[in-house]
Amino acid sequence: MIRKKGLLFLAVLTALIVLLSWFFTDSWLEKQLEDMGSSIAGARVEIDQLDFSFTGVYLKWQRLQVTDAKKPMKNLFETGPCAIDFEFWPLLSKKIVVSEFKINGFQTNTSRDTDGSLSASEKEALRENSLARKGASKIRGVAVIKFAEIGRQANTDSLLKIAGLSAPARIDSLYSRLDSLYTLWDKRSAKSNPLPTIKRIEKKIDAIDVNNLKNITKLTKALEQASAAKKSIDKLNKEIQSLKKEYQTDYRSVKADLANVDNWIKNDYNRALSLLKLPDFSAGNIGRMLLGAPLSDRFTEYLGYIRTIRKYARKYKSTAPKKEHPPRLKGQDIYFYTPNARPDFWIKKLHLSGNAADSLKLEGLITNFVSNQKLIGQATQIKLSGSKKNETSLDLEGSFNYLQDSPQEKFRFTYSGFNLNGAGTLLPGKIKSGTGNILALLKINGNHLKSRIDFNAKQLRFAQNGKNEMERLLFQSIAFAERITVRADISGTIEKPEINIHSNLDKPLTAQIKKRFGGKLENERVKINAYIEKQTAAKRKKLEEFAAKRGLKLSSVFTHYEDALRTQAKTLDTLKKKIQKKLTKQKNKLGKDAAKKIKGLF
Amino acid sequence: MFFIKFAAKLFKILRSGESPNKIAAGFSLGMILGLTPLLTVHNFILILLLIILNINLASALFAFAIFSGVAYLLDPLFHSLGYFLLTGIPALHGIWTFLYGFPVVALSAYNNTVVAGGLAISILLLIPVFPAMKYFVLYYRSHIDPALQKFKIVQLVKGSKFYTAYEKIKGLGA
């Protein structure tokens, strides 16, 4: 029953596997982790001297470098010696429980010895896997105008020709539509013309001479004829009323379309303004133009990370997930948890120590980073702090709470006294000197978010004088103000956040801009207005006159029909009354005569 | 050429002197290997059994090849059945939950819909397939093979490439 050769083969195979894994597990795992990290970071990730022990249940490495995708000769961050201590038994249940994860020597923005960029094929693979950017929605209401382009010399005439207006074509289209509609109504109203029927009835009625109707039979017949005619008139009236009602509905829609002409012209005007970079320099708009786009980009990126974390938290929480349609032979994994079970993934404590940019010493602790918080009854907490020579301090406190049905995230970030030298990502120019403070609060409950960001900077000096007149004016205003304070309020939903930014520069800068560029901008606006007016006025006038004329014509047709029907109905009513009166008289007379004759008999 | 080799392999198995039980056992285990995703704990155990026990390997490989194709075609059915077994029967929920927290069993990927559906179908098929295969081998050897040899068509085939290949393989197997 037992195959001896088979047993021998198995023994040799097992020995070979043990031997190979003894020598190659660390390098294989190192390569796997580096590839996985590179696909997430978008640039090369390198791990040095990885040491993994299944029996000792630990994973260690001496150095980890994550390249900055935008600067391949710099590391986004790197770490010194790190150690992860696993628990053994959960591994046999397909669970990873990390009792402690220590990251030492954390540093940001360090130099690299080699280029850390990925090859084209590696980047392509990364684009498909980038989870954080998937489904990210831009914050609404952020000006997309590039500040440096404001006030740029532009040839309004040539740009307007390139831009092309949509209103004239839409007016023409509406004209054709109205023409078809009115032609249709002309046909319908002609088809329903009641005048021939009225004439026929009139002819019949004229033939009835009430004075010549001497007996009851003739009178009764005449009354029946008049009643039938009245019935026909009433029916016609009903048809005309229903037709008129239909026409009025169409007429209302025509009126609404005509009212849209104003919006079409307004849209063309706004589009031309945006193409010519002629923004609205109202006080409320300056903050958005200054900081809106960079702030929106960063906020959107962070929301993307939160969405990703939520997605995975949901995946591991569900016990009866929706049926998916996986690729053939892959299937769908169903997760089964008991309230006392251990989660599939759990880092109990993650210690972080190192230096951030600007030599800021960092200390941090992340607790309960877990796949299913309900199983351990605790939320994930983040606490990070740093300081430098009592000048600069950083604090980040946050929590990811998925214990309730509605997920909640809370963050508070303060960064005070930091050096702005060389910073240039938020303001439209590289800063030469200055210090800044940031206080950011973010609270997300379910789909609703509320955030406030206060930023203030003082003694700002820019590295250059500004590329154009507009930038020079901005830098001068900031330098003159000595301190800038910006407040951003972000609210709404994760899918559609809305931003509102105000700064102390809003009013003075608006005044300066209006003073300096007001005349020029106004001239351009007038030019655009005149151009649009020239292109649309004649067409618009023609359309409005046409609509009014044809509308009036149709209304008068309906009025004429109604008048004729009303007159005829009135005539018939009079005739009926006259016949009725004579009939009653005849009946009475007949009654009296009959009484007299009966009396004569006796 | 592939089909000729394939048919030759089938004839070789059926006409070999191997016991019908061993052929049927190999065929049944090969069927399970083919119907469920290969890299799973239960398939690892089945492969170990095939190596250690004196079961016909050729019939196992033959069944694995056939049922892998069948599994690909029936994948949506396995997925639906697995989903139903894992989520649609409340009485089984306790067992699944117990197994999920049980060391080693949790590694078996039983909670995957295709694995669960495929394995359920395989186990159900095991009951008729083993005796049916055994009966078929016996019947073939006693009735079909002798009758086939008498057919004129077989005499014609004997002169063809197919027969040459068959003879070649038969010779190798001897």
Check pLDDT > 50 for residue A130.
Answer: no
Let me know: does A186 contact A554? Beta carbons within 8 Å: yes
Long-range CB contact pairs, A313-320, < 8 A, 24+ = A313/A371, A313/A372, A313/A373, A313/A400, A313/A402, A313/A407, A316/A343, A316/A344, A316/A345, A316/A371, A316/A372, A317/A372, A317/A374, A317/A402, A320/B87
User: Are both A242 and A361 inside the same structural domain?
Assistant: no
User: Are both A8 and A110 inside the same structural domain?
Assistant: yes
A338 neighbourhood in chain B, CB within 8 Å: 97, 101
At A131 the pLDDT is 38
User: Are both A117 and A170 inside the same structural domain?
Assistant: no
- Of the partner residues A3, A94, A330, the one whose CB lies closest to the CB of residue B106: A94
Q: Is residue A151 part of a domain?
A: no
Check pLDDT > 80 for residue A186.
Answer: yes
Check pLDDT > 90 for residue A216.
Answer: no
At A348 the pLDDT is 93
Contact A6 B100 (CB under 8 A): no
- Mean confidence (pLDDT) of chain A: 81
DSSP sequence for A316-340? HH-SSPPP--PPTTT--B-----TT
Region A489-495: what's the mean pLDDT? 86
Contact A1 B111 (CB under 8 A): no
Q: Is residue A488 part of a domain?
A: no
Domain that holds residue A84: 1-130+343-371
Cβ of residue A93 closer than 8 Å to a chain B Cβ: yes
- Of the partner residues B78, B79, B97, the one whose CB lies closest to the CB of residue A336: B97
User: Are both A126 and A169 inside the same structural domain?
Assistant: no
Residue range A100-122, pLDDT digits in tens: 999 999 888 888 988 888 877 76
Rounded to whole angstroms, how far apart are CA atoms A180 and A484?
61
Check pLDDT > 80 for residue B23.
Answer: yes
Q: Is residue A356 part of a domain?
A: yes
Region B50-70: what's the mean pLDDT? 92
User: Are both A116 and A191 inside the same structural domain?
Assistant: no
At A141 the pLDDT is 43
Residue range A247-264, pLDDT digits in tens: 888 888 888 888 888 888
pLDDT confidence band for A320 (50 / 70 / 90): low
Alpha helices, H only, chain B: 2-15, 20-35, 41-52, 57-73, 75-83, 90-100, 113-139, 145-150, 152-158, 161-173
Region A509-522: what's the mean pLDDT? 72
pLDDT confidence band for B172 (50 / 70 / 90): low
At B174 the pLDDT is 38
At A151 the pLDDT is 46
Check pLDDT > 80 for residue A478.
Answer: no
Check pLDDT > 70 for residue A430.
Answer: no
Interface test with A, best of B36, B54, B99 (most A CBs within 10 A): B54
How many percent of chain B have pLDDT more than 70?
88
A1 neighbourhood in chain B, CB within 8 Å: 53-54
Residue range A379-402, pLDDT digits in tens: 999 999 988 877 788 899 999 998
The number of domains in chain A is 2
Q: Which residue has the higher pLDDT, A223 or A506?
A: A223
CA distance B128 to chain A (A): 23
Interface test with A, best of B83, B84, B115, B119 (most A CBs within 10 A): B83
Let me know: does A550 contact A176? Beta carbons within 8 Å: no
pLDDT confidence band for A215 (50 / 70 / 90): confident
pLDDT confidence band for A126 (50 / 70 / 90): low
Torsion of CA A188, A189, A192, A193, to 10 degrees: -150
Region B40-62: what's the mean pLDDT? 92
- Of the partner residues A10, A331, A336, the one whose CB lies closest to the CB of residue B79: A331
CA distance A452 to chain B (A): 44
Contact B112 A332 (CB under 8 A): yes
Of A65-79, A236-250, A351-365, least confident by mean pLDDT is A351-365
At B171 the pLDDT is 53
User: Are both A239 and A119 inside the same structural domain?
Assistant: no
Region A264-283: what's the mean pLDDT? 72
Task: State the ipTM, two decimals.
Answer: 0.77
Contact B53 A6 (CB under 8 A): yes
Q: Is residue A365 part of a domain?
A: yes
Check pLDDT > 50 for residue A365.
Answer: yes
- Of the partner residues A3, A328, A334, the one whose CB lies closest to the CB of residue B75: A328
CA distance B161 to chain A (A): 35
Contact A332 B101 (CB under 8 A): no
At A276 the pLDDT is 66
User: Are both A186 and A119 inside the same structural domain?
Assistant: no
Check pLDDT > 90 for residue B60.
Answer: yes
At A328 the pLDDT is 84
Partnered with residue A499 across adjacent β-strands are: A490
User: Are both A123 and A186 inside the same structural domain?
Assistant: no
Range picked from A72-86, A106-120, A134-148, A295-309 for highest mean pLDDT: A72-86
User: Are both A122 and A188 inside the same structural domain?
Assistant: no
Rounded to whole angstroms, how far apart are CA atoms A333 and B118?
14
Contact A329 B93 (CB under 8 A): no
User: Are both A69 and A3 inside the same structural domain?
Assistant: yes
How many percent of chain A have pLDDT more than 70?
82
A89 neighbourhood in chain B, CB within 8 Å: 103
Q: Which residue has the higher pLDDT, B111 or A472?
A: B111
Q: Is residue A260 part of a domain?
A: yes
pLDDT confidence band for A150 (50 / 70 / 90): very low
At B85 the pLDDT is 94
Mark which of A325, A352, A371 sits at the end of a domain. Answer: A371
A330 neighbourhood in chain B, CB within 8 Å: 114
Q: Is residue A532 part of a domain?
A: no
Cβ of residue A92 closer than 8 Å to a chain B Cβ: yes
Per-window interface: A 1-40 vs B, CB < 8 A:
1-3, 6-7, 9-10
Q: Is residue A332 part of a domain?
A: no
Check pLDDT > 50 for residue A148.
Answer: no
pLDDT confidence band for A84 (50 / 70 / 90): very high
CA distance B72 to chain A (A): 7
- Of the partner residues A6, A93, A320, the one whose CB lies closest to the CB of residue B87: A320
Check pLDDT > 80 for residue A82.
Answer: yes
User: Are both A54 and A175 inside the same structural domain?
Assistant: no
Question: What are the tokens at A510?
Answer: 């608006």
User: Are both A235 and A354 inside the same structural domain?
Assistant: no
DSSP symbol at A145: -
Q: Which residue has the higher pLDDT, A455 or B64?
A: B64
Let me know: does A219 contact A582? Beta carbons within 8 Å: yes
Question: What are the tokens at B93?
Answer: 């929920």
Check pLDDT > 80 for residue A453.
Answer: yes
- The residues on B that touch A, with CB distances below 8 Å, are 37, 48, 51-54, 71-72, 75, 78-80, 82-83, 86-87, 93, 96-97, 99-104, 106-107, 109, 111-115, 117
Q: Is residue A98 part of a domain?
A: yes
B104 neighbourhood in chain A, CB within 8 Å: 92-93
